[in-house]
Amino acid sequence: MSRQPPTLEDVAREAGVSRATVSRVVNGVRNVDPAIQEVVRQAIDRTGYTPNRAARSLVTRRAETVALVVSGAGDLSEDGQIDFAARVFADPFFGRVVAGVVSYLRPHSMHPVLMFAESAKDRHEVLSYLRQGRADGALVVSTHPDDPLPALLAGAHLPAVLFARPARAVPLSYVDLAHRDGGRLAAEHLLARGCRTPATICGPLDVAAGQERLAGFRDALARHGHPYAPAAEGGFTRDSGLTAMARLLADHPDIDGVFAANDLMAQGACQLLRERGKRIPEDVAVVGFDDSSAAVTCQPRLTTVRQPVEAMAARMAGLLDEHVRQVRREPTSVVFDPELVIRDSA
Amino acid sequence: MSRQPPTLEDVAREAGVSRATVSRVVNGVRNVDPAIQEVVRQAIDRTGYTPNRAARSLVTRRAETVALVVSGAGDLSEDGQIDFAARVFADPFFGRVVAGVVSYLRPHSMHPVLMFAESAKDRHEVLSYLRQGRADGALVVSTHPDDPLPALLAGAHLPAVLFARPARAVPLSYVDLAHRDGGRLAAEHLLARGCRTPATICGPLDVAAGQERLAGFRDALARHGHPYAPAAEGGFTRDSGLTAMARLLADHPDIDGVFAANDLMAQGACQLLRERGKRIPEDVAVVGFDDSSAAVTCQPRLTTVRQPVEAMAARMAGLLDEHVRQVRREPTSVVFDPELVIRDSA
DNA sequence: GTGAAAGCGCTAACAT
DNA sequence: ATGTTAGCGCTTTCAC
């Protein structure tokens, strides 16, 4: 049915020049007579020519594609896989990562291939994907501190950049947030609005982000004369925030301020608080973390510590690009600053 | 630093056979002596050989990659783009689509490239991406009835499969849900539990899914002696569900059952209902649609019409694969049946 | 400034 | 059953 797509050869014949010349104008290389350039350009339009990427990649050794891999640590069944993917995107965080990555990639005419790596087999697949040259490098978002993928990537000398500092040191670039400062911001805001007994729903303590946000919160509190703040650990999900809030309230009924280590948990906390008839922020002030879509969906709208995920993800893509182009050879880290966004909950 | 990766040639030399033989064992083609197979396999292990995809694609004319494109109808600015991507993933629907697509693709060692097409330029880019042979076909999820992409794809004879029947007929395969049956299911359940004055928060009426769910709901009601049911139009977002519910309640204070055309809107409706002191389902029963993660997050957990998004997306990928492999030549449609999932809200 | 020609690494006839 | 060979479409020296 559909005839073969036109090749360089076809365009060259049409324009009455050589393949090399056409290639030069296609790739915007100088040293081509403007008049000939025009002729070639017209021939391209007439034929509807589009360069064949495989052929180009074969010689340039670039795929102009990066792998965006969401990586766990487990070894899930096939059924688990599908849940993993769906669960991952249930958190507004990943949508923002995707948005940020694409915002960098698109203008550079690169595209992300989505990969999920939850098992040893998956991880092997990611490596082989890169080794096959199907992608020039990997952008990896680990969901688990024990994720072995970063080390594997580094060991294979494959270009990769991480979102967040890995639990175990690995010679790879990463972008991150000053989580500790974020915790501090939350504490100071709660104190400034007059909270007497602040508490926190912290993130999983085996994740650096969880630890650091908590540490920053407690440090700031301590510096203002609050030697102790109750904490209940959550799992960064809405439900876990809700149950953590219930525990907190049971143990310390007089709590009047809560810092939740992400917006989802803050949302859960708000829900429980409302069910218990507490007014927010009058009875209990709530500060979230991330400034994700959940922050504005929440009732009331969340005062929260903003993590500029889109910008971070874009930067991550930029770093990878530099590594791929060999403009940057040594691993580096870029740490972003959090920012307090004041809305209605505190 | 890193020496060139090994090629077929290297393996052949190492194994003492020809390139062709190595290629045969790599591609699992029969007609290779088991003993030689073993020798070759060892040589592959020893050299750490991985086939170069560009070279293979160049001759097979297959990228083993498909584009997963989320497509609108607008012509947004660069800033709009990033919002679009983030907004898209804010709906749990897309995470499920991704999960389903990946569940088919992975076992077939194919991978999805994520693309967002919100402007004419974007659409052109999708077309040229496919024409360049970087992806073998497109899986498209339109977010707008006026989306011109399906027609462009069909016009260019590029393999593509749609999620949901397009507003304007286009010779492309698609998967869809029997939305009308879904609306009927909701109506019958509400009636069966004794609702006297059912109403609906319908989806946007310019989208087929919105229309059909409403029509199915009203038809079923009519067949049971309810000639009229109040409807308020929402935009498939939580907020729009909340305000639609408010309108409904203002105009018809005696409503005792609501069918929301998706779970997000049902969630918004529940929130408003609770704020107004209505008990769910005692005072007002609520039925959602989709059975997304929002259904179980909701308070109370949502009785809802299940749309098997993952299975639909997987099937969509399967259809595309058939078209790409030319196993299927004519466009086809696969319509899935909805199913009522009873939980606590009705 | 332009063309000729040599591959990039692989698959698929075609020979043997 | 295995090897030989001819490309796939492109970029890139190297001559001119």
Please write the tens of the pLDDT for every residue from B235-252. 999 999 999 999 999 999
Distances (CA, A) of B42 to B15, B23, B214, B240: 8, 14, 63, 62
User: Exposure pattern of B215-251 as b/e (b: 16+ CB <10 Å)?
Assistant: ebbbebbeeeebeebbbbbbbbbbbbbbbbbbebbee
In chain B, % of residues over pLDDT 70:
97
B226 band by pLDDT with thresholds 50, 70 and 90: very high
Q: Is A88 on the interface with B (CB under 8 A)?
A: yes
Give the CATH number, domain containing residue B166.
Answer: 3.40.50.2300
Least confident of B24-28, B110-114, B305-309: B24-28
Q: DSSP assignment, residue A108? A: G
Residues B321 and B248 both lie in one domain: no
d(C-alpha A118, C-alpha A139), whole Å: 15
A342 touches chain B (CB under 8 A): no
- Does A316 lie at the interface with B, CB-CB under 8 angstroms? no
Using a 10 angstrom Cβ sphere, with 0-12 exposed, 13-18 middle and 19 or more buried, the burial of residue A282 is exposed
Q: Phi and psi at residue A50, in whole multiples of 5°?
A: -135, 130
Q: How many independent structural domains does chain A possess?
A: 3
- List of E strands, B111-234: 111-117, 138-142, 160-163, 173-177, 198-202, 231-233
Note the pTM of the prediction, 2 decimals.
Answer: 0.93
A159 in a structural domain: yes
- Secondary structure class of B253 (helix, strand, coil): coil
On chain B, the residues whose CB falls within 8 A of the CB of A313 are none
B161 and B71, same domain (yes or no): yes
A 47-66 near B (Cβ less than 8 A): 50-55, 57-58, 63, 65
Q: What is the mean pLDDT of chain B?
A: 94
Domain match, A40 and A78 both: no
In a domain, B3, yes or no: no
Per the domain annotation, does A267 fall within a domain?
yes
Instruction: List, for chain A, all residue ranges whose pLDDT scores fall below the cut of 50.
Output: 1
Helix ranges (H only) for chain A are 8-15, 19-26, 34-47, 53-60, 78-90, 92-105, 120-131, 149-155, 179-192, 208-223, 238-251, 263-275, 293-297, 309-324
Interface of B with A in 243-272 (CB under 8 A): 271
**Cα gap A214→A212, rounded to integer Å:** 5
Same domain, B211 and B172: no
> Distance (Å) from the C-alpha of residue A135 to the closest C-alpha of chain B?
10
φ/ψ region of A57 (left if φ > 0, alpha if ψ in -120 to 50, else beta) reads alpha
In a domain, B1, yes or no: no
Give residue A1's pLDDT: 43
CATH number of the domain residue B26 falls in: 1.10.260.40
CB–CB of B158/B137 below 8 Å?
A: yes
> Inter-chain contact A83–B100, Cβ cutoff 8 Å?
no
What's the pLDDT tens digit per position in B60-94? 999 999 999 999 877 666 666 777 888 888 888 99
Q: Name residues 18-37 of chain B within 8 A of A (Cβ).
A: none
Q: A288 with A188, same domain?
A: yes
| Domain annotation covers residue B29 | yes
Nucleotide with smallest C1' distance to residue B34 CA: D1
B120 strand C contact, CB < 7 Å: no
Q: Which of A53, A91, A97 to mutate to test the interface with B (most CBs of B within 10 A)?
A: A53
What is the distance between the alpha carbons of residues A202 and A275, in angstroms, rounded to a whole number?
21
Q: Do B25 and B112 have their domain in common?
A: no
Contacts for A320-324: CB closer than 8 Å, 24+ residues apart: A320/A66, A320/A136, A320/A137, A320/A138, A320/A139, A320/A159, A320/A160, A320/A161, A320/A173, A321/A104, A321/A108, A321/A110, A323/A137, A323/A159, A323/A160, A323/A161, A323/A173, A324/A62, A324/A66, A324/A136, A324/A137, A324/A159
Shared domain for B231 and B218, answered yes or no, is yes
Same domain for B17 and B40, yes or no, is yes
Residue numbers in A near B111 (CB within 8 A)? 113-115, 129, 134
Please give the residue of chain B at the shortest CA–CA distance from A103.
B82
Residue B294 lies in a domain: yes
Question: Which residue range forms the structural domain that includes residue A117?
Answer: 65-176+310-335
The tens digit of pLDDT for each residue in A258-317 reads 999 999 999 999 999 998 999 999 999 999 999 998 899 888 999 999 999 999 999 999
At residue B69, what are phi and psi to the nearest 5 degrees?
Answer: -110, 130
Instruction: Indicate if A191 and A300 belong to the same structural domain.
Output: yes
Q: According to the model, what pLDDT value does residue B1 have?
A: 43
In this structure, are A264 and A275 located in the same domain? yes
Neighbouring residues of B232: CB distance < 8 A, sequence distance ≥ 6? B199, B200, B201, B202, B244, B245, B247, B248
Both B298 and B184 in a single domain?
yes
Whether the CB-CB separation of A205 and A211 falls below 8 Å is answered with yes
Give the one of A57, A95, A107 whose C-beta lies nearest to B88's C-beta. A95
In-domain check, residue B343 = no
B345 within a domain of the structure (yes/no) = no
Chain C nucleotides near the protein (CB, 7 A): 1-5, 7-13
pLDDT number for residue B276: 94
- Integer distance in angstroms from CA B159 to C1' D11? 29
For the segment B35-44, the average pLDDT, to the nearest whole number, is 92
Do A291 and A194 belong together in one domain? yes
Q: Which nucleotides of D are covered by protein (CB under 7 A)?
A: 1-5, 7-13
Count CB-CB contacts under 10 A for residue B80: 15
Look at residue B241 in the predicted model and tell me its pLDDT: 97
A31 CA from D14 C1′ (Å): 16
